[in-house]
Structure 1
Amino acid sequence: MFSIIISLILIGVLVIAHEFGHFIAAKKSGILVEEFSVGMGAKIFSHKKGETEYTIRLLPLGGFCRMQGEEEDGTIGPRSFFSKSVGVRFIVMAAGPFMNFVLAFIMIFGLTATSYMAVPKIKEVLQETPAQEIGLQAGDEIYRVNGKRIHIYDEMESQIYKNSGEEMRLDVLRDGQVYSYKLTPQYDADRQGYLIGFSPEIEVGLFAEAVEGYQRTSVLETMRYSYYSMLNYIKLTAEGLARVFTFTAKQEEFGGPISIVKMVGASYEAGLSYGLKEAIQNVIYIGAVLSANLGVLNLFPIPALDGGRILLLLVEAIRRKPLNPELESKIHFLGFAFLIGIMVFVLYGDIVKFFI
């Protein structure tokens, strides 16, 4: 039960951030926001302040920011959504996902500043590993993996994972020069993954307890790390969602509400074994990943999502006139039906994993 409560709070924060993006962009653009809602379904709380009604609805998954002109009556007034230019409407639609990326960045920054971070720099080469065989040295910085620029340690791990044990090219920065190597990662049964064979340098966060022999990271480095970490989550999410939307993803690669609750609960309990701070950090980490997920999901060019509406706006800009309202309505309906299919697919996977 506690896992469900934490999960609902976390999802609520992500939804509020997303809808606040739409809300503030609409307000600044002079659009009348009629309702700002957290949750879907029947109203369980309502309060009107100024011209906007703020509501909490029964189903805690999702939310919306209803602007004048979005309802079926299609009200067109000086402050309606559709009375604004394509550029303004584009900004309003993109503001929701953008705020999710901002929230993910803030969460990662907070985690990094209060804990420790691994950097793609070799502290120690492990014995009898590919890293030792090709001559990597302590102090080497991993610069590129298979031609992909590496900024943070997580990017390197992602590239190794995607390489699936095949031979790979490794570019390292040593004394201001780049050296290239070829190696085949070694499978580690304990970690159930492929490893190069070195221990990374660890840096202490801005507000974390100092550790003798470890360098404390700077504000700029923490921001840089948080930015590239957020981009890495976005990239991995986009790749994963593309597999889900094409029904090519494996069941262990995706999860719905049940998986989220289980993951949040397990992470909180695991962190609690060390202390309350660690438990909270684990939940915030999941929140950062989910926020990036929500932002990417809404940018996919599927009707009924922000990305679908942005795509239609681009079509309108190219045609220099809006689509036929009836046609646009049918497009959104088809998109909604597709999303329902995806939700059933994901929920089925959740149920199967739950009973296995």
Structure 2
Amino acid sequence: MNTVISFIIIFGALVFFHELGHFVFAKRSGILVREFAIGFGPKIFSYSKNETTYTIRLLPIGGFVRMAGEDPEMAEIKPGYRVALLLDEEEVVQKLILNGKDRYPNARNIEVESADLEHDLFIKGYEEGEDEQLQTFAISREALIVEDQVETQIAPWNRQFASKKLSARAMTIFAGPMMNFILAIVVFTIISVIQGVPVEEPILGVISPDGAAEQSGLKQNDAVLSIDGAEVSSFMDITEIVRAHPQEELVFTVDRDGQTMDIAVTPEKFVAEEEGGEDFGLIGVHAPLDKSFMKVATSGFKETYHWTIEIFRLLGKLVTGQFSIDMLSGPVGIYKSTEVVAQAGILYLMKWTGLLSINLGIMNLLPIPALDGGRLLFFGVEALRGKPIDRHKEGVVHFIGFALLMILMIVVTWNDIQQFFIH
């Protein structure tokens, strides 16, 4: 149960901050945001405020921000249609009722001759009655269209996504992945505030009770100069040498309070958990931790940069064939990994969240149709051409990309199921 809760919280946070980036920059650009959704499928919660409907949906595997103009706008009101109009005191249309007119006894019924809901904002038609005079009514910029008892706000052209400058559109799309990197920076910084930042220098931190280091006489704050005569320059050097020599005596040359001394240590042998993995040595020493303001303040950026480079390195291996598709993980694999990490404690779970957030940000920036990176690629082409690509053609490309991504997701998920539940 703890794993389920952890998975929902982590995945929900990643999706929330990603979509929040799109949402905030869309609002700043003046785009009408129709819906902010976490999850896909049927709605299980819905709340409307300030033009936007906030929803939580059944399947917690993603989310979306639905902006005006991205999908086809409301059904056209064509000549010959009969609609009802609710007007304010100044005879400005506040609601256009397409059906269910009997629910609005005070509405004015007209047969439409022409209408413009995007640019000039008017509707012209013959009002039902004795004279049936042709009248023109101005439409409010916040007017609602009512169809099947569902109210949808109209979107004048300057409130639609496509009406904005290229830079504003690009920033609105880029803001999603950007927020994932910001979330990772914040999470890694919080971890550093709680536990400190590991020091890179070859200095010993906390010594584990009854470990090989304590038994041999090594002490906290000892500065390691060399191991078996090989000079060490970082704590990582110490770790690598110790891991490579289980149950082999190593001579540590250390500086303790200005005095140099040699101490023999025999790392304990630990058996690798993964199949085919090599056994490794441990002596029970932790890296020293620094809680100074500058170290903590910069740690989140450094850690995010480090893992970003690592993920790109793995992507490079995938492209060159050194990293197979069987090694990718879908929701099932992430769930199982979350289960393992959750058992290690809250700090490890936080670090896992940061890693997943970076991964989500990078994946969304890849120039693949249907992803944010694919859309940014189209914006780049638009900048070079000086005009946008035909929306229908772009939509077809994104649809094909989405279909291929769904196929990949199914393959990866099936591999996860076979690995964790069948074999």
TM bucket, shorter chain: 0.7 to 0.9
1:237 aligns with 2:303: no
Alignment of 1:317-356 (within 5 A): 317-354=383-420, 355-356=422-423
2:287 corresponds to which residue? 202
| Kept after mapping to 1: 8 A contact 2:270/2:282 | no
Q: By how many angstroms is 1:97 displaced?
A: 0.5
CA deviations on 1:237-265 (whole Å, 9 max, x unpaired) are: 23334555787634674211112222222
Gaps of 5+ in 1: 143-152, 159-187, 205-215, 272-278
1:223 corresponds to which residue? 297
Q: 1:58 to 1:121 in 2, by over 3 A?
A: same
Flag the structure with larger Rg. Answer: 2
- Give the share of equivalent positions with the same residue, in percent: 35
Gaps of 5+ in 2: 75-154, 205-212, 217-225, 241-268
1:309 aligns with 2:375: yes
In structure 1, how many angstroms separate the alpha carbons of the residues matched to 2:281 and 2:301? 25
In structure 2, how many angstroms separate the alpha carbons of the residues matched to 1:352 and 1:194? 27
Give the residue type in structure 1 aligned to 2:355. V
CA deviations on 1:99-154 (whole Å, 9 max, x unpaired) are: 00111111111112112443332226x99xxx7467314xx358xxxxxxxxxx69
The secondary structure found in structure 2 opposite 1:37 is strand
The secondary structure found in structure 1 opposite 2:202 is strand
Q: 1:14 to 1:2 in 2, by over 3 A?
A: same
The secondary structure found in structure 2 opposite 1:121 is coil
In structure 2, how many angstroms separate the alpha carbons of the residues matched to 1:12 and 1:79? 29
In structure 2, how many angstroms separate the alpha carbons of the residues matched to 1:239 and 1:12? 27
Q: How many positions carry a matched residue from both structures?
A: 291
Residue of structure 1 aligned with 2:160, choices 80, 93, 113: 80
Residue of structure 1 aligned with 2:230, choices 122, 135, 157: 135
CA deviations on 1:268-315 (whole Å, 9 max, x unpaired) are: 22x3xxxxxxx2222211111111111111000001000000010000
Q: 1:86 to 1:9 in 2, by over 3 A?
A: same
1:16 corresponds to which residue? 16
The secondary structure found in structure 1 opposite 2:198 is strand
Q: 1:193 to 1:306 in 2, by over 3 A?
A: farther
1:109 aligns with 2:181: no
Q: By how many angstroms is 1:229 displaced?
A: 0.9
In structure 1, how many angstroms separate the alpha carbons of the residues matched to 2:322 and 2:412? 12
In structure 2, how many angstroms separate the alpha carbons of the residues matched to 1:198 and 1:265? 28
| Kept after mapping to 1: 8 A contact 2:19/2:63 | yes
Structure with more helix by fraction: 1
The secondary structure found in structure 1 opposite 2:38 is strand
1:254 aligns with 2:328: yes
Q: 1:189 to 1:5 in 2, by over 3 A?
A: closer
Q: 1:3 to 1:235 in 2, by over 3 A?
A: same
1:185 corresponds to which residue? none
Q: 1:76 to 1:245 in 2, by over 3 A?
A: farther
Q: By how many angstroms is 1:331 displaced?
A: 1.1
Q: By how many angstroms is 1:228 displaced?
A: 1.4
In structure 1, how many angstroms separate the alpha carbons of the residues matched to 2:312 and 2:65? 25
In structure 1, how many angstroms separate the alpha carbons of the residues matched to 2:309 and 2:279? 21
| Kept after mapping to 2: 8 A contact 1:122/1:198 | no
Query: Under a length normalisation based on structure 2, what TM-score does the superposition of the two structures give?
Result: 0.62
| Kept after mapping to 1: 8 A contact 2:70/2:161 | yes
Query: Under a length normalisation based on structure 1, what TM-score does the superposition of the two structures give?
Result: 0.73
Q: Relative CO higher for 1 or 2, CA cutoff 8 Å, sep ≥ 6?
A: 1
Q: 1:8 to 1:265 in 2, by over 3 A?
A: same
